[in-house]
Chain A
């Protein structure tokens, strides 16, 4: 292992080299004829398809419109996961009994991958909005709950003692002591949830009949338009990265504001 930290410039240079190598390998594979062009179009073809789809519709909508529909479902799923997971996690962190009741069920349920909820969600909601939201929720919920729980459970014991000594009741204990103490952990959990929720998106949109990146990809697969399928993948990757960067910055800002090291 090299122990000297790289400068920002060096890091950028190496990252760029990685991207160039990846694109080169991809390009080489397609021009060599080892892989049929139909199944692996070269990078420039995917890039031009990407640009084309920004303005011209496929499967009833342009790429930004598909992304917009996807993002709505995604937002519902993740917000619902946070709205239920965070309060439940905090309550479980304070009330031992609730912890004992919920933990076994939760431990079982969280091993069912979001994609494994697809058939069940389809049975329940058909092609409505509920299905995809449920699947995204399944991906985003566990980190919300676990991190809120851990944050509440592992608050500095002296602070709990100080609050009890001051006569603090349950409600105020949870809202004014556990919640703020758990904020760094909760925010980290929300970031993981946001990532997992976005990753569950295509699975969620397998059962969607109207619009969305996942829907677009499934339609393109049906007519063997590999470039369009890959465009969807690139778009998911880019949006996922943007979400992650934004949330990381939000997290760092919050930590600085709290006087913690970023």
Chain B
């Protein structure tokens, strides 16, 4: 349960003959409980990769499967956290989190217990009856993460989830996500253009080329993290000062800069 597989995936937008090729032969295997981040220049199709796993879009060629099953439509086994939160403005925090559980036809008692623990997990207990517009961006994204986690999904799909947040809130949320990943590890596909974020959060980082997007390189961050014991630090800034971190970050930066450079020629 919880693996993601991209097999020779192409994506063309528009008619097959004259359309724009967004993705070119993507092959990627994400193991159960693995956290993989995809970084790439803007417009490279990284978000499209996630949207195809979610079932919002179909590949033009190739196959995408989750837990060995071909993806055909959206479903609660693949929970999505959107950049713009996508909370229902007319529902309270509690109702937003509860909707997926109601769709699963769980009895009210069980729903209450699950929603309660999701609220607690994301430190939202005092805001359960607030409406989204009454909350800050960071709090809204906590709700969106709680809404995804409460489904107990096979995989968690996060599309630049902290992209719309201010820098401080962003750091808090990144640390929070690492904490969550330890408490409750699960398969995560994380899209970002922030290199530090990818290195800090992910087990592996996939770097994409400019359009048509291909996977250029996959870096194993986990083995370095474990060898250098990054986890002894609580704060992201301490990890970011480590030589091993800086080295990885610089490597990815350079790789991405090559893409930007070739774009302008």
CB pair A168 B79 closer than 8 Å: no
**Is A166 a contact of B100 with CB atoms below 8 Å?**
yes
Listed by A's residue number, 28 A-B pairs whose Cβ atoms lie within 8 Å are A158-B86, A159-B86, A161-B56, A161-B82, A162-B82, A163-B88, A163-B99, A164-B55, A164-B74, A165-B54, A165-B75, A166-B103, A166-B147, A166-B151, A167-B75, A167-B76, A167-B100, A167-B104, A176-B91, A177-B88, A180-B88, A181-B90, A183-B90, A258-B89, A258-B90, A259-B89, A259-B131, A259-B134
Contact A162 B133 (CB under 8 A): no
A158-205 residues at the B interface, CB under 8 angstroms: 158-159, 161-169, 172, 176-177, 180-181, 183
Tell me the minimal C-beta distance from A156 to chain B in angstroms: 8
CA distance A220 to B53 in the complex (A): 72
- State in angstroms the CA–CA spacing of A169 and B99 once bound together: 11
Max count, chain A CB within 10 A of own CB: residue among B55, B73, B87, B103: B103
Number of interface residues of B (CB under 8 A): 28
Q: Which of chain A's residues has its CB closest to B51's CB?
A: A161
Closest to B104 in A: A167
Q: Are B80 and A162 in contact (CB under 8 A)?
A: yes
Main secondary structure of the interface of B (DSSP, over half): loop
B89 touches A169 (CB 8 A): no
With A172-B103, A259-B133 given, is the CB distance from A166 to B86 under 8 Å? no
Tell me the smallest distance from the CB of A160 to a CB of chain B, in Å: 9
Q: CA A68 – CA B162 in complex, angstroms?
A: 59
- What residues on A are CB-neighbors of B100 within 8 Å? 166-167
Across the interface, which residues of B come within 8 angstroms of A168, CB to CB? 99, 103
Closest chain A residue, CB of each to CB of B133: A259
Contact check, B74 vs A165: say whether CB atoms are below 8 A apart: yes
Nearest-CB distance from A92 to chain B (Å)? 21
